[in-house]
Amino acid sequence: MTFLGTTEPQILALGTNRAAQPTQPLVHVLGDRCAGCQECVVRCPTGALDLDVTTWTVLVDQDRCVACGQCVRTCPFSAITVAGAPQVSPRLALEVEHPASLEHDRHETRRGIATWVDALAEAARCLDCPDPTCVRGCPVHNDIPGFIRALGTGDLDQAHEVLRRTTFLPDVCSRVCDQALQCEGACTWSLAGAEPVAIGALERFVADNAPVPPPAAPTRPDAGAADGLSVAVVGSGPAGLSAAAELVGAGATVTLYEQRDELGGLLRWGIPDFTLPDVVARRLPDALLAAGVEVRFGYTLEPAGLEQLRSDHDAVVLATGASLPLGIRLPGSDLDGVWDATRFLVEARHALTTGGPLPGVAPETDRPTVLVLGGGNTAMDVARSARRLGAAAICVDWMDPRFAPVRPDELAEARAEGVEVRFSRTLTGLNGEEGRVRSAELAATVQERAAERPRVVPNSMERLSVDLVVTAMGYRIDPDLAALAGSVPVKKEVPAVPDRRWIGSGILAAPAPPFARRQPVGRLAVGREQARVLAGLPRLERTWVVGDALVGPSTVVEAMAQGKVAAQAIVHHAPRRPAEPWVAPRRVLIGVESRGGTTAAHAAALANGLVRAGHEARVLPLRDIRAGELAWADALVVATWVEGFVLAGAGPAKATRSWLATLPPLAGMPVGLLCTYAVSPGRTLQRMRAEVERHGGRVVAGAARSGRPKGHQLDGQGLGVLLDAFSRPNADAA
């Protein structure tokens, strides 16, 4: 078998070769601290660690150590130190090819990996970690070591098969992701202070050299699980496309509602061809059309329209994005010639495609100047597009360059193409003639810390002649759509105590790697994960919200991840329109707050009865129930003991009250209430009901019990009321 001039034996040899390193690292284990927990042993990617079962401490094979630091980051007792530089060969340098003449040039400037030799050499840098932090850094959790392992054997089809389990846009994400803050920043080499594996370039190599498969996958375990399910997806950006593809693969009937006259959202109009070629951006939309997805263009979502969608479909996915640009409130902001980035990018794309002139400026203007307000990636896209349309482009951003959000490669490429980027500058006013903008007033700013608001430097004013001003300072969710979705945007919060699996992986132990621009990649990943899990919960009855519409402006891969999770939740719950026959909940989650064991015993008896009645039931302590557990359930039971005295006001236990107060939107989820008491339940059930309904839950039954149940038997007037409530429609016995 031959690949691009390289034979199979050569491929296998390249895939296992590592560059020799001059200095051997030294690992030291502090015996008085080592507890023999083996956290380091199970996570060492080179097998350099073992356990001495006589002393119950770690043994080290120094010759195998590559100084990746995984043991240091995962040791809960700080019992290991590693001296010496990481033993990894240099990272592959990728080329950027700027055209000799920028005029109307749309060719992609970033080159991918060109040969198998280069691909295999880079793949060989991967340590194939047992608990890969790169996977946690990827918002969609691609099996990165898995696809690189397949690539290392020369099997492109298998590499693609691994990727398609989690992503629908490998060709897009490999081009537009900010990998330094995601998978590559979380690579174990990056966490060790070295250069990570070029994961994005390897993913692109797979996607560019093997056909991208269609969304429908007959071999999927859930293929056909959603047969007969009708779903409306509003918006066809990465979140909507991902949701549609996941639903089609499971057998659902999907209708895409799109405001514009083409599919793809910002992938089509918001990212220029020189970064994301149109032929790549069109692949998934074209595949969905070929799979039979119905599309309705020119659709604008209105409040009444959401109710109509729920009437016409079993479930609705709102992927409407964050479409309102942040504007400026300064003198002259209402002049002609002040545009937002969306308008400019759409019209510039058309001009570049058709060979037209720079939009927004009179054709006879000699070498016009475009002032771009903002210094992020969108601003660079605007400025580089303006350069290709014959303009001088100047970007200004009031942030210090140390804290600017722009990707370094985006900034370098823009400057290489003649874009002038001025950080620590802010706009203070615009001047015009005959109603059109003619000049801008700028002032210098100073900023000492990233969290600090930049301050204007007195007496630092300058005036700049301009022909067009484009605001590229970010976007926000349309308030009307936010009112429809309810309680958005959600925050990407990091819990005070993150999931122990995230802590154990070591991703949180390297707070700000150099490759990640000193950004906290671990905390960023945990925050994204919280939002991804929340995407699996409906925000309204039979209505899920995903992507920028859920969290505000984010990234393509985050939006894709959330769309996929929402679609999986729809398949999991299989919601039906009210006109359909009522279906009893299949999965009941019982959350328990129990001190003496009485409440837990009643919860166990209820779970036993639910299982005998054909339901699935899980019993968990309330403190362990978060969004992910709620996303599994079709119904919820909250079980607590009664705290306080009758005269002083008996109510649910304090821990239960705290948990109820932090509930996410329950979107009509059926909820049962259970309390156990010694003297009297007081108003416990009423107080719980009020809190559940405040979060959108539908209380269907409640029971207050004194004493322990007899074995696992359900009495007809107590727990039996809860059981009966989940087996008949429209129950409301609380």
pLDDT in tens, 160-173: 999 999 999 999 99
Count of CA atoms in the C-beta half-sphere (13 A) of 534: 26
CATH number assigned to the domain comprising residue 255: 3.40.50.720
Q: Are residues 461 and 343 in the same domain?
A: yes
Q: Are 186 and 525 in contact (CB under 8 A)?
A: yes
**Three-state secondary structure call for residue 317:** strand
Query: Does residue 176 register a pLDDT over 90?
Result: yes
Determine the 3-state secondary structure of 393 from DSSP. strand
Is 430 inside any structural domain? yes
- Contact call for residues 565 and 532 (beta carbons, < 8 A): yes
For the chain, how many helices (H) and strands (E)?
28, 28
**Is residue 515 within a helix (H) or strand (E), and if so which, with residue range?**
none
Kindly give, in sequence order, each residue whose CB lies less than 8 Å from that of residue 31, ignoring residues fewer than 6 positions away: 55, 57
In this predicted structure, what is the pLDDT of residue 24? Answer: 86
Q: Tens digit of pLDDT for each residue in 659-693?
A: 999 999 999 999 999 999 988 888 899 999 999 99
Whether the predicted pLDDT of 7 surpasses 80: no
Q: Provide the CB-side half-sphere exposure for 344 (13 A, CA).
A: 29
Q: How many domains, in total, are found in the chain? A: 5
Confidence of residue 647 (pLDDT cuts 50, 70, 90): low
Nearest to 376 by CA among 368, 364, 384, 386: 384
Cα-based torsion angle of the residue sequence 724, 572, 143, 251 in order, rounded to the nearest 10 degrees: 160
Kindly indicate the confidence band of residue 94, based on its pLDDT and cuts at 50, 70 and 90: very high
Across 420-425, average pLDDT:
96
How far apart are the C-alpha atoms of 72 and 432, rounded to whole Å? 61
Beta-sheet pairing, 6-7 with 26-29: unpaired
Please give the share of the chain, as a percent, with pLDDT higher than 70.
Answer: 92
CA distances from 609 to 606, 620, 636, 713, 723 (A): 5, 16, 15, 8, 7
Beta-strand (E) ranges in 336-465? 338-340, 369-373, 392-397, 420-423, 425-433, 436-446, 455-456, 462-465
Shared domain for 270 and 371, answered yes or no, is no
Tell me the mean pLDDT in the region 8-28: 55
Last residue of a domain, one of 421, 452, 475: 475
In a domain, 484, yes or no: no
* Per-residue pLDDT at 531: 94
Residue 4 lies in a domain: no
pTM, to two decimals:
0.90
Distance (Å, whole) CA 342 – CA 339: 8
* Residues 342 and 471 reside in one and the same domain: yes
Are both 48 and 110 inside the same structural domain? no
Least confident of 203-207, 275-279, 679-683: 679-683
Q: Residues 520, 468: one domain?
A: no
User: Do residues 178 and 188 both lie within one domain?
Assistant: yes
Do 464 and 354 lie in one domain? The reply is yes
Under DSSP, the state recorded for 62 is G
Neighbours of 353 (CB within 10 A): 12
Q: How many other β-carbons are positioned within 10 Å of the β-carbon of residue 22?
A: 6
Domain match, 158 and 247 both: no
Residue 398 located in a structural domain: yes
| Whole-number Å distance between alpha carbons of 248 and 241 | 10
Could you identify the residue written with the tokens 């959600």?
A: 490
Distance from C-alpha of 149 to C-alpha of 12, rounded to nearest angstrom: 11
Angle between helices 156-164 and 144-152 in degrees, nearest 10 = 170
pLDDT at 499: 87
User: Which DSSP string do the residues of 464-486 spell out, in sequence order?
Assistant: EE-SEEEE-S-EE--HHHHHHH-
User: For residue 580, what pLDDT band results from cuts at 50, 70 and 90?
Assistant: low
Range 578-599 average pLDDT: 84
In this prediction, residues 257-263 reach a mean pLDDT of 95
Q: Read off the DSSP letter of residue 580.
A: S
Structural domain including 133 reads 102-213+489-538
In 3D, which of 354, 323, 365, 358 has the Cα closest to residue 341? 323
pLDDT(211) > 90: no
From CA 57, how far away is CA 41, in angstroms rounded? Answer: 10
- For 59-78, b/e burial (b = at least 16 CB within 10 A) is ebeeeebbbbbbbbbbbeee
Give the pLDDT mean for 421-444.
96
Which residue is it, tokens 């991902």?
242
pLDDT score recorded for residue 710: 65
Q: Are residues 297 and 354 in the same domain?
A: no
Displacement of CA 594 from its chain's centroid (Å): 35
Arithmetic mean of pLDDT over the chain: 90
Give residues with Cβ within 8 angstroms of 498, minimum separation 6: 508, 526
Confidence class of residue 483 from pLDDT cuts 50, 70 and 90? confident
CATH assignment of the domain containing 37? 3.30.70.20
The pLDDT value recorded for residue 689 is 95
> Which residues, in sequence order, are CB contacts of 211 under 8 Å at separation 6+?
160
Q: Which two tokens stand for residue 55?
A: 């002393």
Residue 103: is it exposed, middle or buried by C-beta count within 10 angstroms (0-12/13-18/19+)? exposed
**Does 276 have pLDDT greater than 90?**
yes
Residues 35 and 76: their CA atoms lie apart, in Å, by: 9
**Buried-state track 195-227, b at ≥16 Cβ within 10 A, e below 16:** bbbbbbbbbbbbbebbebebbbbeeeeeeebbe
Dist CA 652 CA 675 (whole Å): 8
Does 733 reside within a domain?
Answer: no
Is the residue at 9 inside a domain? no
Q: Do both 454 and 575 map to the same domain?
A: no
**DSSP per residue over 650-674, as a string?**
-EE-HHHHHHHHTPPP-TT-EEEEE
474 is written with which tokens?
């970010």
Residue 15 domain-assigned? Answer: no
Q: What are the b/e assignments for 547-581, b being 16+ CB within 10 Å?
A: bbbbbbbbbbbbbbbbbbbbbbbbbbbbbbeeeee
CATH of residue 367: 3.50.50.60
Helix, coil or strand: residue 595: coil
Q: What is the mean pLDDT of residues 589-611?
A: 92
CA angle 186, 192, 193 (to 5 degrees): 95
CA 636 to CA 370: how far, in whole Å? 56
Instruction: Please give the radius of gyration of the chain, using alpha carbons only, rounded to the nearest integer.
Output: 29
Residue carrying the six token digits 């329209």 = 305
Q: How far is CA 209 from CA 12, 155, 171, 572, in A?
A: 19, 11, 10, 34
Q: What CATH number did the domain enclosing 699 receive?
A: 3.40.50.360
Mean pLDDT, range 205-227, rounded to an integer: 69
Written as six digits, the tokens of 307 are: 């109710």
The band of 379, judged by pLDDT with boundaries at 50, 70 and 90, is: very high
| Judgement on whether residues 594 and 711 belong to the same structural domain of the protein | yes
What pLDDT is recorded for position 427?
96
Of the listed ranges 120-134, 383-397, 693-707, the least confidently predicted one is 693-707
Alpha carbons 181 and 512: distance in angstroms, whole number: 10
What is the mean predicted confidence (pLDDT) over 337-344?
A: 96
Same-domain status, 415 and 496: no
706 class by beta-carbon count within 10 Å (0-12 exposed, 13-18 middle, 19+ buried): middle
- Judge contact between 531 and 563, C-beta under 8 A: no
Domain assignment present for 13? no
CB 352 within 8 A of CB 451: no
What local confidence, expressed as pLDDT, does residue 4 receive? 41
